[in-house]
Structure 1
């Protein structure tokens, strides 16, 4: 079985085998499985004797943060940062937790950074009961996500400072990355806040008052991050619109220059094309000064058109 288990008494944690955890009695037994395959489902159902609806919730493929009270225990689903690169549509890995007095079962499909943080706290004697363990998960997830959310805001600030028409494409890629990340994080942080608030309000003696306070604090941090992500999403949309306007202005300016050049050369092309015809009726075709005269007329027309456009302010950007 892929995973680990701990026997915890009065803050002293002892690592034990997953299979041995079934018959272990202590103030807290924590079993963590790192897979939700058929073997894990069979173990949870047949060895741990968990109800089918709890097993289904712990091993579901698609999940979102939620909390449900079931009998004397509670099921909690949280999302946190993974050590693996995940798809942009599902940027956070999940941990599913079934907790009741004296027992906590947790399941992950992808490596979750918070699991190592919680495990380290357990080994240092910071966990004494199921409430402490769930609080440790909620706190570790929010502590780990907070710098990432702040980093997105800093990256967006950098994009705003570097707004320049010569860096439109590079900045649009940066802004799009920030916007996608903000949407992906916010998708889970908003329901995660609701799940933590609901867990903090659940009745039961296995959640102490200090655990409820810590859960409420974690919910507040999740709410703050969700609000910051919403602000980042709106700001990135505004910056993206600004960059699109700058790009459109670039195209307009270039089209204006092309139009002016075309307007200058249009009469010149007509004159040179007219005198380029191989016919004998062209006036002054046999005069030695005809070429200089035509060149002078073309120059005068070009200067006149440029002066006209200048006085009309067509060259102002």
Structure 2
């Protein structure tokens, strides 16, 4: 599941911009540097500017407000750490916050990475704090001449790649559950299994908690997007929504499977403990009368019968053997053994 960090060489030499492209309307695009982004206007019909920014850079909010004339509350939303998925329309502008799986080293599937998005149809601005591979997928398509042709298609491509990448985490969890279901729990140590199953269940709950609002955000884009978001874009994002819904259903199934495995494992552990307790109770019940007899004959007072007899010991042994045999027979008859 691990992937390389997003390349940041552009950001190191080009201000807050990680990369930028000018879409040519035919599936391709040409690179653009940070200086040329300032005051950019389409050189020919159909061109769309896309810039991907590091939102923690100190100049980003000021640039959003001054260059793009974005209202201050919206600019703060685009650069803040409020990462709950949402989307809304402001006139001809679309604003969204989306989340993707965190594939950075050391991250867990439930650690989600946010991406903020702003577009007025002629310009698309995406922002992130941590590395996110989704924009690079779309960038690769553009550089190969097979990318989106307009702003609506670009938004659709980004959301589609983001949702598709969730499939890897879900498939990994399902594979792990399948392996656990094939194990013989009687031959496995319960503690490591409990930790694995609990971790999978926690991942399912976290993904469901994050992906549920994302489903609502994508529906808002499909329903309320501006006019530059064309009919084919709405149809494609509807397919992405349907795919996300299937992923949510898969997460529900994985969550239920993990609950079943936990119940089975705990049930087996409880049954094993009960069997052990039962056997100890049987052993105690068998030796209780024998211990009583030997304890009674062991008291050191005068008048104890058989003290001077040579066969008294063997008589007591025979009596204990008879009591033991009678107990075993009765326990077997009562189906306690």
TM-score over 0.5 (shorter chain): yes
Consecutive unaligned residues in structure 2, runs of 5 or more: 1-14
Which residue number corresponds to residue 62 of structure 1? 82
Query: How many angstroms apart in 2 are the aligned matches of 1:19 and 1:272?
Result: 100
Query: How many angstroms apart in 2 are the aligned matches of 1:46 and 1:281?
Result: 111
Which residue number corresponds to residue 32 of structure 2? 16
Whether the aligned pair in 1 keeps the contact of 2:201 and 2:255 (CA below 8 Å) is yes
Query: How many angstroms apart in 1 are the aligned matches of 2:137 and 2:322?
Result: 80
Structure 1 residue 206: Cα displacement: 2.1
Query: How many angstroms apart in 1 are the aligned matches of 2:303 and 2:35?
Result: 108
SS in 1 for 2:38: helix
Which residue number corresponds to residue 311 of structure 1? 333
Q: Which one of the candidate residues 166, 188, 195 is aligned to 1:145?
A: 166
SS in 2 for 1:278: coil
Query: How many angstroms apart in 1 are the aligned matches of 2:58 and 2:308?
Result: 99
Structure 1 residue 165: Cα displacement: 3.7
Query: How many angstroms apart in 2 are the aligned matches of 1:259 and 1:16?
Result: 81
Whether the aligned pair in 2 keeps the contact of 1:34 and 1:108 (CA below 8 Å) is yes
Query: How many angstroms apart in 2 are the aligned matches of 1:188 and 1:270?
Result: 66
Which residue number corresponds to residue 21 of structure 2? 6
Whether the aligned pair in 1 keeps the contact of 2:153 and 2:233 (CA below 8 Å) is yes
Comparing 186-195 with 73-82, greater Cα deviation is found at: 186-195
Q: Which one of the candidate residues 220, 228, 248 is aligned to 2:270?
A: 248
Deviations 1:187-235 (A, max 9, x none): 1222222222221233534222222211110000011111221222223
Structure 1 residue 47: Cα displacement: 4.4
Query: How many angstroms apart in 1 are the aligned matches of 2:34 and 2:296?
Result: 95
Query: How many angstroms apart in 1 are the aligned matches of 2:172 and 2:201?
Result: 12
Which residue number corresponds to residue 25 of structure 1? 41
Which residue number corresponds to residue 119 of structure 1? 139
Which residue number corresponds to residue 309 of structure 2? 287
Q: Which one of the candidate residues 301, 309, 314 is aligned to 2:323?
A: 301
Indicate the RMSD between aligned Cα atoms, in angstroms: 2.2
Comparing 251-260 with 289-298, greater Cα deviation is found at: 289-298
1:164 aligns with 2:180: no
State the aligned residue count.
314
Structure 1 residue 111: Cα displacement: 1.5
Q: Which one of the candidate residues 271, 274, 280 is aligned to 2:296?
A: 274
Query: How many angstroms apart in 2 are the aligned matches of 1:93 and 1:203?
Result: 23
Consecutive unaligned residues in structure 1, runs of 5 or more: none
Query: How many angstroms apart in 1 are the aligned matches of 2:90 and 2:61?
Result: 19
SS in 2 for 1:29: strand
Change (3 A) 1:296 1:70: same
Structure 1 residue 144: Cα displacement: 1.0
Which residue number corresponds to residue 286 of structure 2? 264
Query: How many angstroms apart in 2 are the aligned matches of 1:183 and 1:303?
Result: 57
